[in-house]
Amino acid sequence: MNIGIACYPTYGGSGVVASELGKSLAERGHKIHFISYAMPFRLDGFSENIYYHEVEISSYPLFDFPLYTPALASKIVEVAKFEKLDIIHAHYAIPHAISAYLAKQILGDTNIKIVTTLHGTDITLVGLEPSYLPVMKFSIEQSDAVTAVSRFLKEKTLTSYQIKKPISVIPNFVDCSKYIRVTDEHVRRQFAPNNEKILIHISNFRPLKRVGDVIRIFNIVRQKVKSKLLLVGDGPDRSNAEQLVRELGIVEDVKFLGKQAEIIPLLSIADLFLIPSQSESFGLSALEAMACEVPVVASSVGGLPEVVIHGTTGFISEIGDVERMAKYSVELLMNEAKHRMFADASRKRAVEQFEEQGIVSQYEDLYEIILGNQADPSIGAAESR
Ligand code: GMT
């Protein structure tokens, strides 16, 4: 198949999923055409089946804002025509699904199909704004297939946008042969020279990630367990977070590592992953941690409870309940046998429920169904998965 993938190139979950899906499909022999305004950050190295098409956005004194949506649509038209695309897969609905719809209209009589994958804030936050909502609803309904990364997100879409269309839940995935714990003692000693426990948080530091809570949880934990905190990523809340660390007087124990392309070595030295988000449709970073045998302490929002099993692979608490999250963290960090059990269960869950190959096959099957090459097993069933 020839598949166009429109996605964000930035440090964020939807771009990661799009890139990993594209790489995996390319390994299966499909021709993958990434279409974005910059090279997606996980697209490293050369692969014979992967192509990248950059969207050029021209400026003009009349335009106060860059006109990305039509520029992306034009690029999709060009790629679809010359590369004979069968599918356009839009990751994160705004504006990718809208541009894909526009492109399909421009292409006219074509069998090209649009798949839209909903990731999170495209549905739960941005898409609900009155300035986007009608276009969002329209572009979801006009897609040939719609997928959501969790049951939570599917339900949220159906209720908030009153969508009648079936939505398939295809969860996010992790390559468990790559995401595997390979602890380098030298790296561990760099961050924890006195054998302290290591807590880690990875995100794009937006307010909804509640990085302040991560720091407050750690501040309680460190009073009971000798520990260090690694903060990976960057974004609008980074300065506030650094300020809070200075105010609490814990600069020595907290390391801001900024954006990191290689996170497996860091996850491999971590004992606990913290994700106390305000909203999280799935929590891909938590799954990547679990694959590396790192139990997770999370908030009980969105799709997180579909990933983290309370009392088995980690713990879940109310948003903002830093005291309880700290208590759970200490409970795990102080009990080696329990920690080992949670670490093993985390890895097991990642392998059994979210391994890349099985999930990528679900996307492949969906493509075959909408192209008419395969019967839809859900026809006659009560609802889509
Ligand atoms: O930053 C992004 O690229 C998307 C981001 C978002 O805010 O929508 O992440 C979402 O998609 C990820 C991949 O599917 C999920 O793992 C995240 O949970 C989800 N983020 C939120 O729902 C806040």
Residue 219, pLDDT score: 98
Query: Which pLDDT belongs to residue 173?
Result: 98
Residue 377 has pLDDT above 70, yes or no: no
Whole-angstrom distance, CA of residue 377 vs CA of residue 381:
8
Instruction: Tell me the percentage of the chain whose pLDDT exceeds 90.
Output: 86
Residue 380: what pLDDT?
47
Higher-pLDDT residue of 363 and 164 is 363
Two tokens at 327?
Answer: 């208590």
Interacting residues of 285 by C-beta distance below 8 A, sequence separation 6+? 13, 202, 203, 273, 275
- Model confidence over 18-46: pLDDT tens digits? 999 999 999 999 999 999 999 997 887 77
Mean pLDDT on 153-157 = 96
Q: Which atom of ligand 1 is nearest to the CA of 204?
A: 1
380 three-class SS: coil
In this prediction, residue 61 carries a pLDDT of 85
Ligand 1 probe mutation, 281, 306, 308, most atoms within 8 A of CB: 281
Residues in the chain, how many? 385
346 lines ligand 1 (CB under 6 A): no
Element containing residue 181 per DSSP (H, E)? none
In this predicted structure, the answer to whether residue 385 has a pLDDT above a threshold of 60 is no
Cα(336) to ligand 1 centroid in Å equals: 32
Amino acid identity of residue 143, one-letter, is: S
Please give the average per-residue pLDDT across 235-239, as a whole number: 97
What is the pLDDT averaged over residues 258-275? Answer: 96
Q: Residue 379: its pLDDT value, please?
A: 53
Q: Ligand 1, residues 14, 17, 160, 208: which to mutate, most atoms within 8 A of Cβ? A: 14
More confidently predicted of 376 and 118: 118
Residue pLDDT, tens place only, 83-107: 999 999 999 999 999 999 999 999 9
Q: Ligand 1 center to residue 282 CA distance, Å?
A: 7
- Asked whether 118 and 157 are in contact (CB, 8 A), the reply is yes
Q: What pLDDT score was predicted for residue 312?
A: 98
Does the Cβ of 275 fall within 6 Å of ligand 1? Answer: no
Q: Which amino acid is at 287?
A: L
| Mean pLDDT estimate for the chain | 94
Class of residue 194 by CB neighbours under 10 A (exposed 0-12, middle 13-18, buried 19+): exposed
Nearest to 89 by CA among 6, 151, 172: 6
197 Cβ below 6 A of ligand 1: no
For ligand 1, is residue 11 a contact (CB within 6 Å)? no
Which pLDDT band holds residue 356 (cuts at 50, 70, 90)? Answer: very high
Fill in the DSSP letter of residue 381. Answer: S
pLDDT digits (tens, 9 = 90+) for 201-217: 999 999 999 999 999 99
The H-assigned helical ranges of the chain are 13-27, 68-83, 93-107, 121-124, 133-142, 151-160, 185-191, 211-221, 238-248, 264-267, 284-291, 304-307, 322-334, 336-354, 356-370
CB 172 within 8 A of CB 91: no
Which amino acid is present at 47?
S
CA of 16 relative to ligand 1 center, distance in Å = 10
Evaluate if residue 376 carries a pLDDT over 80.
no
